[in-house]
Every structure is written in C-alpha cells, then in structure tokens.
Structure 1
C-alpha cells in the first residue's frame, strides 16, 4: 500500500472547490504550498474575477493548482480564463464533459479531473479521456450528484478504470487519516477533502460557520434540496440545524423557494466583489463578509463532520493525513 502523489503533485490530497468562495486564493495556495492539489471555487462565468483570483493565488504560491467549474451553468468565460492563465488543472462537476472539451483542455496543457457519482458517469468520463476521476459518495457535503455511498461506489469505479492511467480520487466523509487509508485500500490514489478544509485558518468561511462544524456529528446532517431553488434545484448535504429541522418538516416543504418576492431578506454578503442579498432558503454559505441571520443560513457539511474537532492551518491537515496514513500502513 503506497500513499503517494497524483498528477505530478506531491501528495494525493485534493482541496474540493467549495463555493461560492470558501475555496478562495488563500486556501488554494496553502494547500498547494503544503504539497496538495488546490482547486479554486471559480466565479460563475466571470472572466475578469476568475483571472483576478488566479493571479492572487500565483502571488501566494509557485506550485501547480487548478480551478473547479459547475457544468450545470454556462461557464465558458470562466473556462477561457482558466486556459488563458495556463492553470495545471480543471475540475468539472455536475454534467458531461465530452471528448472534444477534454481535448481542448489538453491542447491548453490543462489536466481534467471529473467529479461524478455513478458508474455510468465514470464510463463517459473514461471515454472522454479525462486525467482523473473523483468518485463522490452520497455522504459528502455540498452538492451531491449521486445516490450511493463512497464505499460502494469507489471500488466499482476503480475496477472500471482498470489498468488505465487514470487515478481515482475518493470524496465523501473523509476527515481524518483513517478515511484516507480506507480509500487507498479500496483502490483510490488520493482523497478529496471538503468539510475538513472548511475548518482551517485559510478557508474563506465565516467564523460562525467554522465553529458550527465542531459541534455537529455524523447523524446531524441532512440530504436536502431545500436551498437555492430559485436558480438551481439540486440536493446538498448540510448541517441539520434547528432552522433546517423546522423547515424540512414543514407541510409546505416542496414549495419553499428563495424567491425575493416571497421570502424575507435574512442577510447580505459580498461574493467575488459582488453585493448579494440573501433571502430565506438561499444556497450560499456564509463567508467573512456575511451579515444577518447566520444561524438561518445553509451550512454545507459532510457526514465526516463528527471527526472535525479543531480549526488549524491547511498545511497541518495535510501533514496529519500524510503522516497518519504512513503510520497506519507502516510506510517510512
């Protein structure tokens, strides 16, 4: 059993590109500097803001890094910025990224990581020629594209990849070195961390949100489509806060939409230099600029949250994972 790097990066530890801007320049750079693969949460279809964020990262690290995009939305301008800035990686999620698009990325020298949640999607990604597959289990935090657990999905995708040179990375509920070791045992070459990296010094998340992660456990998350319905009705996993518990049991649950015409204003935030009003059931998580009813906002987190006990620098997380998995497998 060998815990090594992936795609030319020293360690097989990937920072999930958590939106809207939690995985910002400081966190991406910190992960990259510690030998991990940092992925920026890209601004949606915004060339200028994407370039601005990428250049800020370049001021903080000379290591390779990448950016994540959601295929659910038109992100052609963001993708162009990623290519023009010559990033090492692009992570794509929530949709198909066919061969011609993978080929275009490769022409720009960009490696493609496709995050997905099913064997069928993995088959398409392999056929498209992606460089890496991130297998996401339903226990993961944030937006959830699949319906099965990581422990069921991961070995199936590893078997499907076979002897092809496509590393498989595990995502979902991995928050300590034992999860990393388990993923390696199931055939993964690395792990993608979200929740664990929110609870770091460099994460661009509101301190209130970070502190809540230390208080919740694995049976206190919810898989729901309550949030962000005005623009995108999609399942997420979040903390099952008192606010979430109350509304998930509402007889009106299916009709609740964060529509400015029908819901109260609960807060305000600045995302990628844009002022955003937050209405009840908005899908955005709180960043340091967010004000208002923080306790009534969505707080994305995976089932591994019960193993998150402290807020430390991102480099410390990578050190713990690397040293921990070596100790488990007695690798020196």
Structure 2
C-alpha cells in the first residue's frame, strides 16, 4: 500500500510544490525528515542562482532526499539546468509542453521525474516520455487546476493505463486526511499528493491570515477570476468576501486595472500585489492581506488546526493503517 513508500521514499505521501514560495526550505525539510516526498517550488521566471541557493539552503536543514517543482508554462530552462547540476532526488513538472528530452536529461543526472497531469491523454504522454511516476490532479484540487474530472472517475482510468508499465500513480485533489488517503488507495493509487493540508502547517511560508482562513472557511469554488493577465488558468479558491464580490468579473477584465492592495517579497523579489492578482500572501505580505487570493482544495473543511508538517505525515500514515485494519479488514 501507499504508506510503504514509492520511488525510494519511506511513504507514498507527496507534499505538493506550493507557489509562489509557500513550500520553502523549512517546510520541505520538515516533510523530508518525516519520510515523505517534499518539493520546493522554483520561481515562475528564470533565476538559476536563486534556485541553487534554495536547494542548498534546504540541504542545510535535512540530509534526506527531496524534490523541486517546475511549472513548464513559465520560463524554466536555466532553472532546470541548475536542478540537474544539484542532483535533487525528484523533479516534478506540470502544465506546459513536456519534452521527452527532459526526462532523459534528468535520468542521466540520477533524478526521478514525476509528471502531474489532469487527464488520461496527458498521462499517456507522460508514460511515453518515460516518467517515473504520475500525479493525477482532479478538479477538487486547490490552486491552479489541471483536472476537469472528479478524482473518483479520473484516477482509476489512469491507474489502469499505468499498471502495464509499473509506474506509480499518485492521487491529488481534495485529499487532506487519512480517510482521503485510504479512499485514493482503494481506487488504485500508490500514494497521495497534498497541497492545502501542508499550507496549513507550522513550517509553511504562508501568511498567518491565509493559514487562519483555511480553518475558518469550508467552501471553495472553481473559478478563473484571479490573475487572468499573468496565468489565465482555472483555479480553486476559498469563498472569501473578495471572491464573492468579484466572482462574476466579465471575461474581458483582469487585475491589470485594479489598485495595488499590498506588497510581498516573492522568491527574493519585492512585488506589488493588485486586487484580483493570482498571488497568495506569503509570510512577507503587507497591506490588505484579507483581500488577497486564498487558494484551497475542496477538502479544506476537514482541516481543523495548524500542525507541524511531521505530525501531518505521521497522522496520515498511522490513521490510514487504523482505518484499513479496523474498517476494511476482511474476515
């Protein structure tokens, strides 16, 4: 089962690469030390020196293997070059075109590749490219969402496809606890990828207000309102007052003509944050933080407290074992 580990890691639990820099060295080190697959997130622009510094800082906090996530929609070639030179354990890629050559280059550097997909067709492409594992992201996921289907129907189809190639399949989308973990395993997944649950941890670099709202709100919505000019991809957010007020934003409008409501240092660069921007507030954010976008998956209502990341991993494993032994055991 998934808690026995995949890709050489202790557990089949993946901490998603949380943007813009929510999954920084502290969170990644904590998750890695707990035996799960932890992933940094590179900037959405070329910044090879910063990426090297990010990797090296994380290595001062853990001697365990970890990964790094790259969104292929954004400039990334120089960043990837550094990742290959630094030989991180895992390269996770999503969105954009997925060149087969990148898998070969990663394998030559001793790096495993995980491709996050949102449909069966892209899973086929990932398999053909020779990836080491696939993350299946469903429509229930928080943040920018690849999947157009629910996990219940999408996951088993990808599992069936990948089974002939002995490629682990990891489920993502709305999973925050052991019940979701066990459900994914029952659908054939080898592990789970969690994003929102790890935002709500002690070590995440999310702003305290963002973390608190993950506890206060239970409803999310799939939308395209935030950050249209920069990345017009669908996303899932908390139903905060700012979202409810602007949820019917006309298709021809975006954040470019909105006022600046705050500032933040993102991957070492100071940035203005406009109303309706697609950038969640990290710990450096100032200004009207309450009215910045708050990404969250559909399972957010099950998150009741901010926990150390290691406790999140431990509870997932221990409670999943208990559920299977006590409720699903056969006579």
Distance in 2 between residues matched to 1:330 and 1:183, nearest whole Å:
16
Distance in 2 between residues matched to 1:254 and 1:97, nearest whole Å:
29
Distance in 2 between residues matched to 1:2 and 1:136, nearest whole Å:
17
**Would you say the 8 A contact 2:138–2:149 is kept in 1?**
yes
Partner of 2:105, secondary structure, is helix
Structure-1-length-normalised TM-score: 0.96
Deviation, structure 1 residue 76: 0.5
Q: Which residue of 2 aligns with 1:258?
A: 255
**Would you say the 8 A contact 1:201–1:311 is kept in 2?**
yes
Segments ≥4 residues shifted beyond 4 Å: none
Distance in 2 between residues matched to 1:256 and 1:298, nearest whole Å:
17
In structure 2, runs of 5+ residues without a counterpart are 327-331
Q: Which residue of 2 aligns with 1:287?
A: 282
Q: Does 1:109 align with 2:121?
A: no
> 1:25-104 counterparts in 2 under 5 A?
25-44=25-44, 45-104=46-105
The total of aligned residue pairs comes to 326
- C-alpha deviations, 1:219-258, integer Å up to 9, x for none? x2111111112222111101011110111134xx212212
Partner of 1:38, secondary structure, is strand
Distance in 2 between residues matched to 1:104 and 1:84, nearest whole Å:
11
Q: Does 1:317 align with 2:312?
A: yes
**Would you say the 8 A contact 1:267–1:291 is kept in 2?**
yes
Q: Which residue of 1 aligns with 2:193?
A: 192
Deviation, structure 1 residue 78: 1.1
Q: Which residue of 1 aligns with 2:329?
A: none
In structure 1, runs of 5+ residues without a counterpart are none
Taking only aligned residues, the RMSD between alpha carbons, in angstroms, comes to 1.3
Deviation, structure 1 residue 95: 2.4
> 1:206-217 counterparts in 2 under 5 A?
206-217=207-218
Structure-2-length-normalised TM-score: 0.96
Distance in 1 between residues matched to 2:146 and 2:269, nearest whole Å:
28
Deviation, structure 1 residue 98: 2.7
| Pair 1:2–1:271, CA change in 2 (3 A) | closer
Distance in 2 between residues matched to 1:58 and 1:329, nearest whole Å:
35
Distance in 1 between residues matched to 2:285 and 2:110, nearest whole Å:
37
**Would you say the 8 A contact 2:3–2:10 is kept in 1?**
no
**Would you say the 8 A contact 2:2–2:11 is kept in 1?**
no
Deviation, structure 1 residue 2: 5.9
Distance in 2 between residues matched to 1:77 and 1:322, nearest whole Å:
37
Q: Which residue of 1 aligns with 2:220?
A: 221
> 1:84-163 counterparts in 2 under 5 A?
84-163=85-164
- C-alpha deviations, 1:88-120, integer Å up to 9, x for none? 110000123232221111111111000010000
Distance in 2 between residues matched to 1:231 and 1:282, nearest whole Å:
8
Distance in 2 between residues matched to 1:242 and 1:39, nearest whole Å:
31
**Would you say the 8 A contact 2:2–2:13 is kept in 1?**
no
Partner of 1:275, secondary structure, is strand
Equivalent residue in structure 1 for 2:303, among 289, 305, 308: 308
Q: Which residue of 2 aligns with 1:204?
A: 205
Q: Which residue of 1 aligns with 2:233?
A: 234
Q: Does 1:8 align with 2:8?
A: yes
Pick which of 41-50 and 310-319 moved more.
Answer: 41-50
- C-alpha deviations, 1:249-302, integer Å up to 9, x for none? 34xx2122121xx21110000011100001111111001110111111100000
| Pair 1:2–1:277, CA change in 2 (3 A) | closer
**Would you say the 8 A contact 2:217–2:238 is kept in 1?**
yes
**Would you say the 8 A contact 2:11–2:36 is kept in 1?**
yes
Distance in 2 between residues matched to 1:62 and 1:166, nearest whole Å:
26
Pick which of 322-331 and 4-13 moved more.
Answer: 322-331
Partner of 2:212, secondary structure, is helix
